[in-house]
Amino acid sequence: MCPPAEEEKSNSASGGLANNNVLVAAIAFCGVVTIASVASAIALSVKTSGSGTATSAYQAQEPPTIIVNTGDIEYASGKPPAGENPCEGKKPDLPNTECIVEAMVNVGPQAGANVTKGYRGSLEVEHVPITTPYWQNGMCPVNVHWHLGTEHYSLGQYDETGTGPDIASQVIDLDRRKLQTEQVRSGYHCKYYNAEDEMLTRPYVWRHCVGMQIGETYEVHWPHSAAGACGTLNQYQTPFYDGVFCTDGVLTDTAAQIGVQAQIFTIVNDEAYYYPDLFRGMIVDGEMGQDIAMYTGSTTGTSRDNEICSQYSPITWQVDRKCHMISASSFDKMCADMKAQRDDMRDDLYAHGSRVLVADELTADNQANRALRGN
């Protein structure tokens, strides 16, 4: 072993010089030893590769055993320093209202709608949906949340023939302080579920998301807005309305400046379906995010149906028509990211109920179809 680099300082100049000489000699010795060691290693490597019969110790090691699919990964979820939230309380007071009054439609177009290719609603509107990626329109995501089953309908993908485990009546910790029994309305389902397939039934230890179920279908929503606190620590908000309406004096055309991405997933316990960043928006990869329905609608949720409607309309919807499988760990990572935001997003860590499918007469007649690029 080489001597330590630090030597006791001498009180005299000659003593300091002597110590320096010793230190220089020690460093030179270490250098020679190191060079010799490297040369020996290179020679051994050349000999090994030349003979073709020996294998290095590194190459001979068995691959490590990796335990997956058990929720054993603890994702970082620490928050940034506390600070002022300029978006708090920015949700406008627009209560739900009757959809039809005296046989006339009393509201703007509603969501979630039928997004089957070729379908068109019967409500005539003059505005058009955004048909390019939201970021190209000066918008950023301000929230992420999801619904049990799907609020939209895509024939052959997520429709009335889809299946999944029944968790609609389970007890969910809605306010994180006490357990409440609440009937969470389930929407449509994908067709992946198979009770005999282990990746669709094997339990997963959830560390961050609440009340989630392997094999279940969820519709994920990413609200975007041109009035968000884009690029700041306050960009993501719960409720999402605070994020959508955060900056005053920006919104002049809601259909062109507010939009929601929607993508439908069945949760599997298989790391082959892991995506590390579900937090910031729709996944565009392979078949994901390619077949998109675009139309104008409203906010959703179970407080609305075909009699009581949302006044938050019109806004653009861009909805993936296809079902996709995604790992439970992808969702749990997203929930950890949500916990790490400055605003408290805990009220979005569980699945919300799904609104009933919007009737034709409340669905806009402006559905567009195209594949998004660079989303």
Mean pLDDT computed over 62-68 = 45
The C-alpha angle 245, 246, 250, rounded to 5 degrees, equals 70
The distance of Cα 336 from the centroid of its chain, to the nearest Å, equals 10
Distance CA 20, CA 5 (A): 10
Assign 257 a pLDDT band (cuts: 50, 70, 90): very high
Structure confidence at residue 374 (pLDDT): 52
17-41 pLDDT per residue, tens: 344 443 334 444 444 434 444 344 4
> Regarding predicted confidence, which is higher, 180 or 166?
166
Neighbours of 210 (CB within 10 A): 15
126-140 pLDDT per residue, tens: 999 999 999 999 999
Please give the C-alpha separations between residue 344 and each of 89, 156, 178, 261, 334, in angstroms, as whole numbers.
13, 38, 18, 22, 14
8 Å CB contact between 286 and 98: no
> Regarding predicted confidence, which is higher, 171 or 337?
337
- Quote the percentage of the chain above a pLDDT of 70: 74
Please spell the DSSP secondary structure of 310-341, one letter per residue: -SS--EEEEEEEEEEEEEHHHHHHHHHHHHTS
78-116 pLDDT per residue, tens: 899 999 999 999 999 999 999 999 999 999 999 999 999
Tokens 């005999």, residue located: 196
Structure confidence at residue 86 (pLDDT): 98
> Regarding predicted confidence, which is higher, 363 or 375?
363
Distance CA 350, CA 259 (A): 22
Distance CA 285, CA 208 (A): 25
Structure confidence at residue 167 (pLDDT): 54
Nearest one of 354, 1, 369, 356 to 186, comparing CA atoms? 354
Structure confidence at residue 70 (pLDDT): 53
Structure confidence at residue 271 (pLDDT): 96
314-327 pLDDT per residue, tens: 999 999 999 999 99
Structure confidence at residue 220 (pLDDT): 98
How, if at all, do strands 292-297 and 315-327 pair? antiparallel
| Residue 120 tokens, joined | 């068109």
259, HSE (Cβ side, Cα atoms, 13 Å): 28
Mean pLDDT check: name the lowest of 52-66, 73-87, 187-201, 214-228. Answer: 52-66
pLDDT at 50 exceeding the cut of 80:
no
Neighbours of 110 (CB within 10 A): 30
pLDDT at 159 exceeding the cut of 70:
yes
165 class by beta-carbon count within 10 Å (0-12 exposed, 13-18 middle, 19+ buried): middle
Mean per-residue pLDDT over the chain, rounded: 83
Structure confidence at residue 196 (pLDDT): 95
Structure confidence at residue 44 (pLDDT): 39
205-242 pLDDT per residue, tens: 999 999 999 999 999 999 999 999 999 999 999 999 99
